[in-house]
Amino acid sequence: MLKLILILFVALSASAGDRVTGLSFATRSPVIATHGMAATSQPLATQVALDILKSGGNAIDAAIAANAMLGLVEPTGNGMGGDIFAIVWDAKTQKLYGLNGSGRSPKSLSRQWFIDNGYDKIPSHGPLPVSVPGAVDGWFMLHDKFGSKSMQEILQPAIDYAENGAPITQLIAYYWNLSVPRLSKYEGFTKQYTINGKAPKEGQLWRNPNLAHTLKIIAKDGRDAFYKGKIAHTIADYMKKQGGFLSYEDMASHHGQWVEPVSTNYRGYDVWELPPNGQGIAALQILNILELFDVSKMQLDSAQYVHLFTEAKKLAFEDRAKFYADPDFNKIPVKQLISKSYAKKRAKLINLKRAGKSYPAGNPALEKGDTIYLTVADKFGNMVSLIQSNYRGMGSGMTPPGLGFILQDRGELFTLQENHFNTFEGGKRPFHTIIPAFISKDDKPWMSFGLMGGAMQPQGHAQIVVNMIDFGMNVQEAGDAARIHHTGSSEPTGEVMTNGGILNIESGFSYPTIRALMRMGHKVQFANGPYGGYQAIRLKDGIYWGASESRKDGQAAGY
């Protein structure tokens, strides 16, 4: 009897917390709804999006409202001082549209200025890495093309919460606390982004009346109030006082761009990304290499799969370091980089038994080449994949008086190397890490998704696709599964991979797998992220299936 009890105890312990699917890593089942779905990294933002949908707004209205709300409750990842990218499935035209809402560097600043003043790289914080904030212009571009409600209605929830307060969630409080010591030295930050000099704690009410005031102005007077009115003058005057170069002229001349999303077909599914200056096509390059191998016969927790994925990532990131930049300043061979023939050539460099210490960037021309993510879908069939960021969490620390937001430090991602595609030039868009994604099948929407987290993003996008298509996971399981994050590849800022980099793997991978990877020559770090933050909406037989990141504070919800 004692033996039988022991056997039952062990069996129950082993299955405790497992989903009915049998996958022990799954945190919950997907959220399922018919009329609309929103998935964001903060529950109150999700509820704001749902309220917009329920009151008759469409997915684009709801996405803008949620993004504005996230600027209040998750300033550790985004805000009006940052940039924005989006992919929109428009049900009326049955077509995907891409928005590149990234801002440009100050026109009066040059690479030579940095060299003459003793810089070998662009600083991470302060006035020098600040580029034009593109988010507000992006909101209005989305609204002008697809919106149905007024901007006053769309921004009102964020205004109300900014005036009355919203409680700060656990992970956001944690990252906010890390930012305060670093950014408090910059004028305006402590006054506008702390409570008595400290970050708000988990559960503490956070108000931002300055942000509410700024939102009211743009809701009433439109995007020009931000880029050509008093707000632009306030930003320019503050930046000049701080020793920066961002000017009123830089603000007034800003414009985002509508771009054509690009895709590769992965085992019958079209995976869509935006072209550079973002890094989205790195995910497509990784998938093109993986498609040459029978991944479905491998196991997620196997050295065979982790090694193959890591080497494919290394190859894609060498091209990323060399070619991904502002297409207005260079001819980027996008079509060649994401071609199947180019992937076959690059895959030949992989040794299936040993980790590569270094790889050359390819020559595709010879083939004739810290963030929030949210997604919303509505009853009309529209779907939005949207990502927005200040970079480095809360951004540069530059906090103009009375405006309630922090300016981004995206300019840090330029290099000062001469003749590099991504070298600093005035009026140029930097290499960008933030990327929305989308999957279609048979020319119909299949899934809107994204995964924030710097260089983790294209790696994460590819892993989500593999998890669903090769490993047969559902939309929530695909995000819950343990992730791979390789660091140390060559970078668009000039760093070069020489020793193979470091393979960071989450705690869901077994010790025998880790040992096998080490024997193959990988330098392994265990559970040393970041591993990104994921949201997704899957459309299946007219029903929306939503998922939200278990590693963050977010929520997927529908009605």
- Whole-number Cα distances in Å, 411 to 111, 128, 180, 518, 554: 12, 8, 21, 36, 28
CB within 8 Å of 345: residues ≥ 6 apart: 362, 367
Q: Rounded to an integer, what distance in angstroms lies between the CA atom of residue 424 and that of residue 233?
A: 25
Half-sphere exposure in the Cβ direction for 262 (13 Å, CA): 21
* Single-letter amino acid code for the residue at 472: G
Tell me which DSSP letter residue 396 carries. S
* Single-letter amino acid code for the residue at 548: S
- Whole-number Cα distances in Å, 66 to 50, 139, 517, 549, 554: 9, 11, 41, 16, 12
Total Cβ atoms within 10 A of residue 4: 8
Q: Which of 46, 76, 264, 371 is catalytic?
A: 371
Environment class of 525 (CB within 10 Å of its CB; exposed 0-12, middle 13-18, buried 19+): middle
Residue 530: cis peptide before it, omega within 30 degrees of 0:
yes
Sign of the dihedral defined by the CA atoms of residues 48, 50, 55, 58, in that order: positive
Environment class of 294 (CB within 10 Å of its CB; exposed 0-12, middle 13-18, buried 19+): exposed
Nearest CA among 544, 134, 209, 142 for reference residue 380: 544
- Whether 371 is a known active-site residue: answer yes
Q: Mind telling me the catalytic residues? A: 371
